[in-house]
Amino acid sequence: MRLLLVEDERTLRQQLALGLKRAGYAVDEADNGQEALFLGDTENYDAVILDLGLPGMDGLSVLKRWRTNRRVMPVLILTARDGWHEKVEGIDAGADDYLAKPFQMEELLARIRALIRRSQGLASPLLECRGIVLDTRDSKVTVDGWPVVLTSHEFMVLDYLMHRPGVIVSRTELTEHIYAQDFDRDSNTIEVFVARLRKKLPPDAIKTVRGLGYQLVVEPCP
């Protein structure tokens, strides 16, 4: 999953980026309003963490512009101003959740997970498909009750697919959501991750749709 982190305070941004990367997210960073607006408009993120007090253009305006431009990714607002009128203002501008500073990393991660899940219309934090169970809360995967150990990239691929069961996901899309913007992307590596994943999962769980991409098969083929 790929996130956009918008925070102008350098230390906090670095700390959050580190925490998010450790939790298995690809993170793009922005430290001002214009850059955030541009990135949010042009890249596809699974969620955005947006600080409200930004230089250049304040967070609420950035958010409103995204929503006017029909950018629908979930946005979590991060701010020091936590009066209820500010929270309401944020939600009215199109935010999906709200977190007041200071906060615990755990809390932020939990909210991001929930946001991403809800944006795919999934209610439970447990994602299940053909015996594969992915617990978004602790990033653990089991197959038929047996724990499976995955590398972080393998997990990211599976996580992305499990959030979209039955949907054909192109290699480019996967690349986009697994690597941060400044990362040297190579779509061939995706094939490697998928191949490794297939060894650890039920054999026909991930189907290659020729010329289109990969698909997590919901029902076993007859």
Residues that bind other proteins (CB under 8 A): 9, 11-12, 15-16, 18-19, 53, 79-85, 87-88, 91-92, 95-98, 100-105, 114, 118
Min dist. Cβ of residue 170 to other proteins (A): 30
Tokens 């541009």, located at residue? 38
Give 12 or 180: the residue with its C-beta nearer to other proteins.
12
Q: How far is the CB of 34 from other proteins (least distance, A)?
A: 20
In Å, how far are 93, 94, 97, 110, 202 from 75, measured between CA atoms?
10, 8, 7, 14, 35
Cβ distance to other proteins smaller for residue 77 or 178: 77
Between 96 and 154, whose beta carbon lies closer to other proteins?
A: 96
Looking at the Cβ atoms of 58 and 173, the one nearer to other proteins is 58
206-209, strands of its sheet edge to edge: 168-169, 213-216, 206-209
Tokens of 135: 């617990």
Cα separation, 163 vs 1, in Å, equals: 10
Rounded to the nearest whole angstrom, what is the least distance from the CB of residue 164 to other proteins in the complex? 20
Distance CA(8)–CA(33), nearest Å, equals 9
Helix axes 187-200, 171-178, angle to 10 degrees: 90
Closest separation in Å from C-beta 102 to other proteins: 4
CB 19 within 8 A of CB 42: no
Q: Which residues contact 106 (CB under 8 A, 6 or more apart)?
A: none
- What phi and psi values does residue 33 have, to the nearest 5 degrees? -60, -45
Between residues 118 and 207, which has the closer beta carbon with respect to other proteins?
118
Q: How far is the CB of 189 from other proteins (least distance, A)?
A: 30
- Residue number with CB closer to other proteins (82 or 128): 82
What's the min distance (Å) between Cβ of 220 and other proteins?
32
